[in-house]
Amino acid sequence: MNKAKLLIVDDTPENIDLLVSILAGAELDILAANSGERALELVARTLPDLILLDVMMPGIDGFETCRRLRADARSKDIPVIFVTARAEDVGQGFAAGGADYIAKPVRADEVRSRVNHHLEKRRLVHQLMELNGVLEQRVRERTQELVQANRKLREEINERRFMQDRLSYLATHDFVTRLYNRDALESHVQGLLARADRGEDSACVAMVELTRFAIVNDACGYIAGDELLRQVADLLAALAAPEDFIARLGGDRFAILSARPVEPVMSLAQRIKQAFESFGFVWDGRTYHVDARVAVVPIGTEYYSFEQVMVKADEASYLARREGGPGVRLHRASARDADPREAVNWAYRLLDALKQSHFRVYFQRIVPLAEPNPGGLRFETLIRLWDPESRRIVAPGAFIGPAERYQLIDQLDRWMVREVLSRLSTLTALLPQVELVTINLSAYSLRDTSLAERILNLLRDLHFPANKLCFEITETEAIVNLDAALSFMQALKEQGVRFSLDDFGTGFASFAYLKRLPFDTLKIDGAFVRDMDHDEANATMVRSMVQMAQALGLPVVAEFVENGAVAKLLSELGVQFAQGYHFHQPEALSEEALQAALLTLK
């Protein structure tokens, strides 16, 4: 029997070596490529049976490589498994034509399981094609011996039918839970939307998202995680109506599509919630309590595509997650969002803005309160969106929320870092007079394990001084993986990059951050600063935060300083820097604007 051919595509040799070692001993002929271009050449020559494809690579990335494979008739049917560390890559990978994904850091048993699953599926397809050819030839040759060959022919037809049924099952079901998969859900939703007799709120989708699933998966391993998912699938199947359509969307998320109005589906959601309250997952003698949050979205007559339904369901799940904890949420379009296409449009508008460079960079000076002539100009860079239709600037308050909701905020962060550093690096005459440039980073970006290396490469390529760069990490969004944040900060601080804790004072978690994360500066949230000249409670809060910063030996920046009285109070408290309309209204970043800002230092 010929060995199955597996192609591993990754620009990092260590990742290739790891995957090769995991699959060692399997009956596989393993090939490797370190770029998308090299992968396309190997595929054209060898036609592998399966491809493990990294997403982030120089040259063409994994998504473009997959799209080109799908466009070639010779390689369009080769299954591609994306290997990625970012959850937001999963949907884009399926859209590009991927068959599956493996999350980084990879687990050996998961890699082997998924590779064997897709190779079995591939083998069945080839066997089916070969068997069809054999059967057709035999029918032609044995027409005269029909009676004698009839019994044998029935056996072979039954064998083919079995393989067809098996292949159909694999294509429409999740192999872990035996529930329907996302593709099957899409087909079912499209059929529901096409019904001419569908009325308003005649169907609903319930998104079920597990809480604390990661605890079981990380503490006990993926085998325990898979068993937990199977038990949850059985629980949902027992609670749902026989006609309800249950699918696993991936990870710890499930969807129940019900052709029933809101009330019975909300009743189902409450029963699911109650069932999880008494649900305990037992593994190795220990019991793990796993709960769930359920978001119910009525599917009205205004919906016209599966993508639109899923965008609204994802939005409902996101809002339920932001509320915190398990629970049941009914999500309807509000008056300002009566047309669900508007929510979809925000995702399209942001993607188009990134593609067509509709974002703009603004800046606001950070002014010293004690010394009038510091070592140079300090300023914070701010992102704005240019709307070409209305020909006006859109404030970040309008698009940052949708960017977080549709998991595009990290792309905005990367655009901002690249644009600011690229633009400033060309101003060789002004750059030496700039002391510090601050850029905001979201919590989503900190989860990208490759971000630090990208930033360091960008600093080297642009010859931008690392000690002039400061990243502001906001307190308003909790940093989920504190260890990842610490690793990110340490990698950049070794090269001179600085960090500031933004919106300090809005949450108690800051005190824990300060103990572990090496911040250089604290920026007090403007909600306390703005009214401190006539609000004694706010003034007291600011005073206590300044005292804590002084005890830690960290400089303080106060934002939202809008009048001289507040600036005077801050100076008396020992605050080193201030920022706000009293000193400078944000303006577009340009050489002329920076020159004017530098004149204020003299």
Domain 1-172 CATH (choose: 3.40.50.150, 3.30.360.10, 3.40.50.2300, 3.10.520.10): 3.40.50.2300
Distance CA 67, CA 347 (A): 21
Does domain 182-332 fall into CATH 3.40.50.720?
A: no
Distance CA 193, CA 206 (A): 16
- Which band of pLDDT confidence, cut at 50, 70 and 90, is reported for residue 262? confident
**223 Cβ neighbours under 8 A, 6+ residues apart:** 109
Distance CA 111, CA 107 (A): 6
Q: Which of 30-39, 67-76, 390-399 has the lowest mean pLDDT?
A: 390-399
Quote the pLDDT of residue 497: 95
pLDDT at 195 over 80: no
Nearest of 597, 545, 599, 602 to residue 366 by alpha carbon: 597
Contact criterion met (CB below 8 Å) for 192 and 257: yes
Residue 201 falls in which region: left (phi positive, over 0), alpha (psi -120 to 50) or beta: left
Q: Nearest 10 degrees: CA dihedral of 10, 14, 19, 25? A: 130
Q: What are phi and psi of 103, to 5 degrees?
A: -85, 140
Distance CA 35, CA 401 (A): 35
pLDDT at 284 over 80: yes
Mean pLDDT to the nearest integer, 278-294: 87
pLDDT at 411 over 80: yes
Does domain 352-599 fall into CATH 2.40.50.100?
A: no
Residues carrying CATH 3.40.50.2300, the chain:
1-172
CB atoms within 10 A of CB 361: 18
User: Helix, strand or coil for residue 5?
Assistant: strand
Name residue 248's beta-bridge partners. Answer: 254
Q: Which of 127-141, 318-332, 379-393, 496-510 has the lowest mean pLDDT?
A: 318-332
Helix or strand (DSSP H, E) at 243: none
pLDDT at 484 over 80: no
pLDDT, greater one: 321 or 70: 70
Quote the pLDDT of residue 214: 78
Amino acid at 411: Q
Mean pLDDT to the nearest integer, 98-109: 89
**15 Cβ neighbours under 8 A, 6+ residues apart:** 54, 83
**262 Cβ neighbours under 8 A, 6+ residues apart:** 201, 204, 296, 298, 330
**535 Cβ neighbours under 8 A, 6+ residues apart:** none
Helix or strand (DSSP H, E) at 204: strand 204-211
Sign, CA torsion 307/312/316/321: positive
CB atoms within 10 A of CB 433: 15
Q: Which of 47-51, 175-179, 340-344, 386-390 has the lowest mean pLDDT?
A: 340-344
- Exposed e or buried b per residue across 364-384, where buried means at least 16 C-beta atoms within 10 angstroms of its C-beta: bbbbbbeeeebeebbbbbbbb
Contact criterion met (CB below 8 Å) for 300 and 201: yes
**32 Cβ neighbours under 8 A, 6+ residues apart:** 7, 8, 9, 10, 16, 20
Residues carrying CATH 3.30.70.270, the chain:
182-332
Sign, CA torsion 248/253/258/264: positive
Q: Which two tokens stand for residue 374?
A: 């510091």
Distance CA 54, CA 66 (A): 10
Contact criterion met (CB below 8 Å) for 9 and 48: no
Distance CA 272, CA 269 (A): 5
The pTM of the whole model exceeds 0.75: no
